Chains A and B, each alone.
Chain A
């Protein structure tokens, strides 16, 4: 069975500083990887996803993530954060093995990013 571990439950950072949110996964088959963001009292929205090809994936709002198969990681990065980036971020994985898994995602525990002025 697949699992996802987000290594930091909270990450405080100052505005305009770089940030990295860490995510490791475990799976016995190939996976698709996702990062979602949740603003307070709202649903989740997709930041970016890795399906195949280039291991560096760019998403919305200046975020990017790098897939590292050997380390089974998919860390999220932003070179310069803004106050508006304050939110909870979730890493998620979807397994596939030649067929479809109907979008059944397994989520990590979430990382709360707080950007201070």
Chain B
């Protein structure tokens, strides 16, 4: 089946620790995105990538980093600089056009110990 796979489903971070969230897609999509979801705030864009080896900051990039070394993969690292990392993180992909729908993964819930 084609789709987006996020792992792990649940992740716990200790103080001062960096953690990496995985996102893989087999839809052959050029564009990939990371959103953060907090209750009552909707989804906010962290980073997006339109093509391999290129990515741009979204609205709340501070404390996060990404890489796009392969078309299928867009991992997100939550660094120790992100002081409030507890949230639900959603990865998405699309063909890249502004009129195209996003395909979403099932999300990763990150909590701080």
Q: Please, how many angstroms separate the alpha-carbon atoms of A96 and B98 in the complex?
A: 7
Task: Determine whether the beta carbon of B99 is less than 8 Å from that of A90.
Answer: no
Nearest B-chain residue to A95, judged by Cβ: B98
Q: How many residues on chain A are close to B (CB under 8 Å)?
A: 29
A66 to chain B, nearest CB (A): 18
Most buried by A among B41, B44, B101, B106: B101
Contact of A102 among B42, B50, B104, B106 (CB under 8 A): B50
Chain A positions within 8 Å of B98 at CB level: 32, 94-96, 100-104
Task: Determine whether the beta carbon of A102 is less than 8 Å from that of B96.
Answer: yes
Chain B positions within 8 Å of A6 at CB level: 42
A9 at the binding interface (Cβ < 8 Å): yes
Near A by CB (< 8 A), chain B positions 34-78 give 35, 40-45, 48, 50, 58
B15 at the binding interface (Cβ < 8 Å): no
A43 at the binding interface (Cβ < 8 Å): yes
Task: Determine whether the beta carbon of B40 is less than 8 Å from that of A100.
Answer: no
B48 to chain A, nearest CB (A): 6
Task: Determine whether the beta carbon of A100 is less than 8 Å from that of B96.
Answer: yes
Near A by CB (< 8 A), chain B positions 1-60 give 4, 31, 33, 35, 40-45, 48, 50, 58
Chain B's interface size range is 20 to 34
Chain A positions within 8 Å of B33 at CB level: 103-104
Q: Please, how many angstroms separate the alpha-carbon atoms of A34 and B100 in the complex?
A: 10
Contact of B48 among A43, A51, A100, A104 (CB under 8 A): A104
Known pairs A43-B4, A103-B33, A106-B45; list 18 more (Cβ under 8 Å): A9-B40, A32-B98, A41-B107, A42-B106, A43-B90, A43-B107, A44-B90, A44-B92, A45-B104, A90-B43, A94-B98, A95-B98, A100-B96, A102-B50, A102-B97, A103-B97, A107-B35, A109-B40
A-B pairs, 10 with minimum CB distance: A43-B104, A101-B98, A107-B43, A107-B42, A46-B101, A109-B42, A103-B94, A94-B98, A44-B104, A96-B98
- 23 pairs of residues in contact across A and B, judged by CB atoms under 8 Å: A9-B40, A32-B98, A41-B106, A42-B107, A43-B92, A43-B106, A44-B102, A46-B101, A46-B102, A94-B98, A100-B97, A100-B98, A102-B31, A102-B50, A102-B98, A103-B94, A103-B97, A104-B45, A104-B98, A107-B42, A108-B42, A109-B40, A109-B41
